[in-house]
Amino acid sequence: MTVGKGGATTTPSIQSANAAKGSGASLTATGKPADQTAAEQAGKRATNRGGAVDVGGKMVGVVTPPALPAAAANGSEEVRSTANSPAAQAALAQVAKSDKDWSVRLAAVAGLNLQAVLVQIAASDADADVRKLAVSRLTVQAALAKVATGDKDWSVRHLAVAMLTGQGVLARIALEDQDSDIRKLAVSLLTVQAALARVARNDRDWSVRMAAVNLLTDDAFLAQIATSDLDSDIRKLAVSRLKNRTAP
């Protein structure tokens, strides 16, 4: 099983996955010519930055790990226990870190539970899909923050931001990330009024400022924006927020 670029989970064969990466197979598992499938996948990479969750008008890339074998899916504790054994995890870690084929690494990452290895893969794998799957299995906030502020791929950063809880790093991303959609996502997770007010007053993107104003509850900040923002729609929103707060 692999992960569709639109956020949907699909179940093509490894041959089909390799076709999407540009393998030499003549036909994919879907029966389409390999060059057609590869072109479609390349187009998806270029035009769809991934996701099944609509956040601020952008579909957020949330990766669903490939399913366990049928026996495990049916509740076989024996299969699950085997997959989680130290020997199995060590083998999966080796494959996830070193196999030359992205789809093999992806399959290995889907079974990994070792946070230290997932941190390494999320930070350094050459393939964005592999990094994204590793991020989706991370629980270490410091590692997620590093990916959210440093990964070169939009969709990987976006997923990492969606999993952050630390207000400090979210404020930093909301104020500094180069991508307006990522700043908007960070804003949606902020609760610190001072940080929201700073974004509302200073962000260069109208929609990010609107998102921040929509979350402001501090009357002083709202009054300042209502009386001084250069954009009439933002002033109007701030006025509306003030009216709602003073209504009986």
Total length of the chain: 248
Give the 3-state DSSP-derived string for 127-141, with helices as H, strands as E and coil as C: CHHHHHHHHHCCCCH
CA distance linking residue 84 with residue 61, whole number of Å: 27
Helix and strand numbers (H, E) in the chain are 16, 4
Q: Give the pLDDT confidence of 142-179 residue by residue, as tens digits.
A: 999 999 999 999 999 999 999 999 999 999 999 999 99
Burial class (CB in 10 A: 0-12, 13-18, 19+), 145: buried
Are 123 and 143 contacting, i.e. CB atoms less than 8 angstroms apart?
yes
pLDDT at 84: 82
pLDDT of residue 243: 87
pLDDT of residue 107: 97
pLDDT band, residue 21 (cuts 50/70/90): very low
Could you report the per-residue pLDDT of 193-241, keeping only the tens digit for each?
999 999 999 999 999 999 999 999 999 999 999 999 999 999 999 999 9
What is the chain's alpha carbon radius of gyration, rounded to the nearest angstrom? 22
**Averaged pLDDT score across all residues of the chain:** 77
**pLDDT single digits (tens) 22-36:** 433 333 333 434 444
Rounded to an integer, what is the distance from CA 18 to the centroid of its chain? 23
CB–CB of 199/177 below 8 Å?
A: no
What distance lies between CA 231 and its chain's CA centroid?
Answer: 31
pLDDT of residue 224: 94
Q: What is the pLDDT of residue 22?
A: 41
Question: Is the model more confident about 155 or about 64?
Answer: 155
CA angle 45, 7, 162 (to 5 degrees): 100
CA–CA–CA angle 84, 120, 146 (5° rounding)? 125
pLDDT at 126 over 90: yes
Question: What is the rounded distance in angstroms from the CA atom of residue 143 to the CA atom of residue 155?
Answer: 16
Per-residue pLDDT, 247: 54
pTM above 0.75, yes or no: no
**Residue 248 pLDDT:** 53
What per-residue confidence (pLDDT) applies to 148? 97
Pairing of β 53-55 and β 58-60: antiparallel
